[in-house]
Amino acid sequence: MRELLDSATAGLSNMNNADSSRLASQMLAELRPLWRIAWPLLIAQTAQIGTGVVDTLMAGNYSDADLAAIAVGFNIWLPLYLIILGTLFACSAIVAQDFGAGRIERVRSFLPQGLWVAVALSAVMTPLCLNSDMAIALLGLPEETAVKTSAYVSRVGLGFPALGIFMALRYHTQGLGITAPFAFASVVGFIANVPLNYMLIFGAWGAPELGAEGCGLATAASMWISTLIILLYVLTARSLQPYLPTHWLEGPDWGRISEILVVGFPVGLTFFLETGVFSVITLLIATLGDAAVAAHQIAINVWDVFYIPMISVGSAMATRMGHAIGARNAHGVRMALWVGAALSTLIGLLAMSLLLLFPDAIIGAYTQSEDIRELALRLLRLAALFIMIDVVQIVGSFVLRAYKETRFPFLVVTLSYWGLALPLGYLLAIHWGSSSPEGTVDFWYTTILGIAVAAALITWRVRRILRSLD
């Protein structure tokens, strides 16, 4: 992180010997718009995570088979969701640069192209959800669980067209620096999901009792509700009208569509691979025993709590950098990076402090088992180190995305996680090891090695880019 901050501040020391008070005022001036973008993203991400938590809790109170079906099914449709989300993220980076450069006509004409990409992605992902039976059959699940999983995934798939539209609209307006309406829409969708789950899982209020299938329908319905809210906002908000197309039904512009795919698809694949590697590691750790997977899941859950705000700050930072890049404002680029990196570092330091100072309290909220507690205690210490290194990787990745350079992070993730951390962890914990719960620690060591390699490579690339500003 020090190297990244040094790069970010390379030009600040040459600002006509500006004193500390002037620098502080400049940082505060950048902090306000960055945080104005970041906090709604934090709320929206929390609401989306909360939807999964509510689904799990309510299904768990219905039956074990339905709980298992949702747990498995979630890991089937989540990667498809991440590909849509990551690919359409390109719209934010492209719009941010055009907006910063004052190319308003390009901004106005861009939204229909984002919607075309959203429709195309949904046309691929929805049938995959609706026809997931063959993939589920390969998992060797009990017949009842397999049937329930297929029903759950297929019903969630009905919401994917809405998801694509939502993401296209979200990232178009995020590129303009507007995020609060999407937080509101996400929260409303989360709230609506609760009674819909109750009604369709348990058969309340005259509705059919559908279990996991009902949970899938509720999730899809909440996606449509959020999308309709945000569509209503986009169509009626006067402040947005200068940045919306004159003709919404414009035909495909293959040049702009190609730009979205070139920039965005590597992001989608990166999200897919990051999620996938942790899923595979969890499955491998599950072979080491119940205590191992329980301790690992505690550490992962704690990491997730801090990952969400870091991602939100990183995304806001990328938007602010995009505006400055478009305006050819080198100082603005540095200030956005400096403030974004500083906020992310503070989150990382807070996480590390809590994990190192209060591990027993954190673990006690999950379990009273002594075997799990001892292993989880070691993993939380490693998680504290992982989070601090991850700060560097997250900040650097969003810097590159602000510059529409997305293939390099994809290659780095492939190398560091899939080429290094995963196979080395397997060798140490299972192949050469005793296949005991202690192998969980080996997996965390190799994962830390992987994220350290990723952070180093991404920092190197960021420093090269920032030198061009001088």
Do both 234 and 268 map to the same domain?
A: no
In a domain, 423, yes or no: yes
Burial class (CB in 10 A: 0-12, 13-18, 19+), 215: buried
Do both 215 and 293 map to the same domain?
A: no
pLDDT at 395 over 50: yes
Do both 277 and 132 map to the same domain?
A: no
In a domain, 44, yes or no: no
In a domain, 257, yes or no: no
Confidence of residue 54 (pLDDT cuts 50, 70, 90): confident
166-197 residue pLDDT tens: 999 999 998 998 888 988 999 999 999 999 99
In a domain, 43, yes or no: no
Q: What is the mean pLDDT of residues 355-378?
A: 85
Q: What total of structural domains would you count in the chain?
A: 2
CA gap 359, 79 in Å, rounded: 31
CA gap 241, 176 in Å, rounded: 12
Q: Which residue has the higher pLDDT, 233 or 250?
A: 233
Q: What is the pLDDT of residue 470?
A: 60
Give residue 274's domain range.
1-38+263-470
Do both 293 and 178 map to the same domain?
A: no
What single-letter amino acid sits at 379?
L
Do both 293 and 432 map to the same domain?
A: yes
Percentage of residues of the chain with pLDDT beyond 70: 94
CB 45 within 8 A of CB 311: yes
Phi/psi at 322 (5° precision)? -60, -40
Predicted TM-score (pTM) of this structure:
0.85
Q: What is the mean pLDDT of residues 56-73?
A: 78
Do both 232 and 267 map to the same domain?
A: no
CB 277 within 8 A of CB 417: yes
In a domain, 53, yes or no: no
CA gap 111, 118 in Å, rounded: 10
In a domain, 12, yes or no: yes
In a domain, 50, yes or no: no
CA gap 291, 342 in Å, rounded: 37
Do both 67 and 20 map to the same domain?
A: no
